[in-house]
Amino acid sequence: MRPGNGKRCAITGLTVVLAAVLVPPVCAQAEADSSHRWTVAPMLSFSDVSDGRDDWREASVDLYLRATPTWLLGARLAVPQRGDESDPRAGVSVAHQATSRFEWHADASFTTSADFSPDEAFGAGIIWNVATPVALLMDVRHLEFPEGDIDQYMPGVQWSIGDDVALTARYIHGRAFDARDYHAYVLRLDVGRHPSPQWRFTYVHGADPEKVPELGSVLLSSADSLAVMYRWPIRDYLDIVLGLEHERRSHLYSRSTANVGLIVRY
């Protein structure tokens, strides 16, 4: 959604691991306005993992172009690392505000010789503002691992409280390898609206697919994840993004992550 219309973009749910609630750091649809056509958002993350596991790191950059007042195009390059393994990923996205109340978006990403990521991932979704202050959300994702395909269906609702507070809830149903169902829940609170400072609090509970390099297979394990993000505008063209996250994955490990990034508009 565009920043000047009082609407908010909605969380798109899980990608591969529950940690994805902070990536990208902001919603692409909210980043373009009449004075800035381009947005660049580089980000670094560092994770400390328990039980003697190697630390995780990720560097990424998102680039968005507001091609027209209703079309937003995006590209993404990310290099996540787990110990000595890395999975460079490239992706593209598009968002179109068809009417003042309805928007659709889609994305695709690819990895060559993946160690822990899906080889290919595709997603699409809608945001439908049925009535002030309620928006209905629906996203689907398709992940392709060498072991088989995983599909995720993510309905949700967003409730805006005035101009500065929004609550988003998602239910996630997944189907792995045509053999096993799994479920997860996402709750997110946004406080503040650009150009003022913004806080984002996210809680995720449930199962999600994760490929473990040392096992060479995809696990469906339960996890609880709590994340907080702070976006601090320091210029009309520059924001700083800071984030912390803690994830506890049942019987496997816990992980604490620090995120730092920039949002540059020109």
What pLDDT digit, counting tens, does each position of 178-225 carry? Answer: 878 889 999 999 999 878 899 999 999 988 776 665 555 666 778 899
What DSSP letter does each residue of 145-172 carry, written as one string?
A: ETTEEEEEEEEEEEEEETTTEEEEEEEE
pLDDT digits 0-9 by tens, 31-68: 445 478 899 999 999 999 887 778 889 999 999 999 99
Q: Does the pLDDT value for residue 245 go beyond 50?
A: yes
- Greatest Cα pair distance in the chain: 51
* Token reading at 124: 């699409």
Instruction: Give residue 214's pLDDT.
Output: 57
- How many domains does the chain contain in total? 1
- Distances, alpha carbon 133 to alpha carbons 52, 127, 167, 243, in Å: 47, 13, 11, 27
Instruction: Give residue 250's pLDDT.
Output: 76
Q: Report the C-alpha gap between 254 and 266 in whole angstroms.
A: 39
More confident residue, 33 or 6: 33
Domain with residue 122: its CATH number is 2.40.160.40
Q: Does the pLDDT value for residue 29 go beyond 60?
A: no
141 pLDDT band (50/70/90 cuts)?
very high
Q: Which sign does the torsion angle of CA 142, 143, 149, 152 carry?
A: negative
Strands 253-265 and 56-66 come out as unpaired
What is the pTM for the complete model shown? 0.85
Domain containing 220 equals: 3-265
Structural contact between residues 199 and 190, judged by C-beta atoms closer than 8 angstroms = yes
